[in-house]
Amino acid sequence: MARQVNFEKLIVPGVRGLQPYVPGKPIEEVEREYGISDSIKLASNENPLGPSPRALAAIRDGLDTLGQYPDGNGHYLKEALAAHHHTRPDAITLGNGSNEILVLLAEAFLGPGVAAVYDQYSFVVYRLAVQATGAEARVAPSRSAQHAQPLGHDLDAMRSLVDADTRIVFIANPNNPTGTWCDEDELRAFVSGVPADTIVVVDEAYAEYVSGDGYPRVAAWLDEFPNLVVTRTFSKIYGLAGLRIGYAISHPAVAEILNRVRQPFNVNSLAQRAALAALQDTAHIDESRSVNAQGLGFLSAGLADLGFRVLPSVGNFVLVDMGTAAAPFCEALLRVGIIVRPVANYGLPNHLRISVGLPAQNRRLLDALRAIYGAENSAG
């Protein structure tokens, strides 16, 4: 008889209370579970246009190299990113998605006896990364639902939680899942007021979608604030979510520390090739931004016409207050082949996060919600 082992007793304290991250359901799983076809996924904030044709060509050209290890330093991609952001290659750290960069920052700078600060409704990975290290999590209350940036970051509340024990502050700009953002003046004032030995991580996963005035391009501040770290990803506007590649821009000394904990060959060769090609395909980026801007306006107006409250967003998604428990809406949409994202795990059980799709997908979503909402009202 096999010996019984209580593995829970062996877990380090920071990991013991963690719950695994639960991603949105893939199309294949939904179709198998519900016995349907022709489903659409509007749950994971992916680019509905997919990758750049140049990125796809780069992947095909790189297939013959799969028997070799990738460039562990990412030389060519780091050179291109440095030129793109007007910085130095040694200021760039490549990651297996920007998600890995967030975890590397936590591993390098957090542990028992120190603290990290993040917002109540910010990206769930901040909480997971902090908790795993055993550091203290200080969670700032978000702005009220009536604020011009409803449920967005309250930087004053965050600043009040920063003290000598604070090693990292995480700020998502724009924020996931709310779509809200911090403008240049308020964010600069916040960074100026934080102690120089507290690292401010500005997560700009959706930055390429933002075109309005007043949105800060924080990478340009690095010479002034060496405690800044900016994270970016190729998963969103570049359409390379399946390849998992992101990066950080920071002071070279911070990048050197991250490289101490970064795993060897953490970014595969096809991802590096595709990212380099995608970065250079400005036409695809412009088209993606245009399609998103039109779809964001269309979805926001259509959802508001149905009577739902839509939070302002500058990302490629909207957060929608359904006015009641959102789970039944999510389930009803799944049954007609539309996958959206419930956000009860963020403490928002009445909200759905809906990614911007192609025009036909956006219309299909609104038509489905119109039918579901009408049925709900009739039943009531």
Tens digits of residue pLDDT in 89-122: 999 999 999 999 999 999 999 999 999 999 999 9
pTM, 2 dp: 0.94
User: Distance (Å, rounded) from C-alpha 250 to C-alpha 219?
Assistant: 8
Beta-strand pair 317-321/40-41 = unpaired
What residue has token string 């790189």? Answer: 62
The band of 377, judged by pLDDT with boundaries at 50, 70 and 90, is low
Question: How confident is the model at residue 325, as a pLDDT?
Answer: 97
Mean pLDDT along residues 247-256? 98
For residue 13, name the pLDDT band (cuts at 50, 70, 90). Answer: confident
3-state secondary structure 136-157: EEEEECCCCCCCCCCCCCCHHH
Angle between helices 269-280 and 53-61 (to 10 degrees): 150
At residue 376 the predicted structure's pLDDT band, cuts being 50, 70 and 90, is: low
Q: Which of 334, 329, 314 is nearest to 176 (CA)?
A: 314
Question: What pLDDT sits at residue 379?
Answer: 47
Per-residue pLDDT tens over the stretch 204-244: 999 999 987 789 989 999 999 999 999 999 999 999 999 99
> Could you tell me which residues are beta bridge partners of residue 233?
246
The CA angle 37-354-310, to the nearest 5 degrees, is 140
**Can you give the chain as a three-state secondary structure string?**
CCCCCCHHHHCCHHHHCCCCCCCCCCHHHHHHHHCCCCCEECCCCCCCCCCCHHHHHHHHHCHHHCCCCCCCCCHHHHHHHHHHHCCCHHHEEEECHHHHHHHHHHHHHCCCCCEEEEECCCCHHHHHHHHHHCCEEEEECCCCCCCCCCCCCCHHHHHCCCCCCEEEEEEECCCCCCCCCCCHHHHHHHHHHCCCCCEEEEECCCHHHCCCCCCCCHHHHCCCCCCEEEEEECCCCCCCHHHCCEEEEECHHHHHHHHHHCCCCCCCHHHHHHHHHHHHCHHHHHHHHHHHHHHHHHHHHHHHHCCCEECCCCCCEEEEECCCCCHHHHHHHHHCCEECEECHHHCCCCEEEEECCCHHHHHHHHHHHHHHHHHHHHHC
pLDDT at 135 over 90: yes
Q: pLDDT per residue over 325-342, tens digit each?
A: 999 999 999 999 999 999
The reported pLDDT for the residue numbered 378 is 45
| CA trace torsion 69, 71, 74, 80 (10° rounding) | -120
Of the ranges 32-36, 197-201, 228-232, 358-362, which one carries the lowest mean pLDDT score? 32-36
Q: Shortest CA distance to 77 belongs to which of 241, 256, 230, 270?
A: 270
Q: How much is the average pLDDT of 200-206?
A: 98
Where do the domains of the chain lie, and which CATH numbers do they carry? 7-50+283-379 (3.90.1150.10), 55-281 (3.40.640.10)
The two tokens of residue 350 are 């009445």
Write down the pLDDT at residue 117.
98
Per-residue pLDDT band at 60 (split at 50, 70, 90):
very high
Instruction: Report the 10 Å Cβ neighbour count for 39.
Output: 18
